[in-house]
Amino acid sequence: MAEFSRTFMTPKESPPPVGYSHIAKVSNATLIYLAGQVPMDASGKLVGPGDFKAQAEQVFRNIRTALNAAGATPHDIIKLNYYVVASVDPTERTAIRAVRDQVVNTASPPASTLVVVAGLAQPGWLIEIEAVAAIAG
């Protein structure tokens, strides 16, 4: 049986990425797809109303919790999709990277997409993140 592998790449012909990889290539793995994680705690309460960084921190806590339940860790993430409400000042969006860098493997950062949206499913949510992770098996 072939071995599990996870490779992150950026072709030299691609624009230089800023803190992400253009390609995440996985072989012989179990993929774990997380639903969009939102800034709510385990009781369903919104964390950090109006505070983008606090909300991003809660979302990454929720990502860690979900991945742990599936037998994975944030270092296993191969893809992140960020949805950020348009009302968030673009300079505040840098908080995502600072928070993300505390949990993912920054030596091989996941492929990532950031989408600015008019709104999310609940008033007060400023960010939602989907994640895909890959583990051996």
Question: What is the domain range of residue 95?
Answer: 5-136
Alpha-carbon gap, residue 11 to 134, rounded angstroms? 22
Number of domains comprising the chain: 1
Task: Take residue 106 and report the two structure tokens written for it.
Answer: 């920054």
Average pLDDT of every residue of the chain: 96
- Sorting pLDDT into bands at 50, 70 and 90, what band is 1? low
For residue 116, give the CATH number of its domain. 3.30.1330.40
Residue 22: pLDDT over 80 = yes
Q: Rounded to two decimals, what is the model's pTM? A: 0.94
Whole-number pLDDT of residue 9: 95
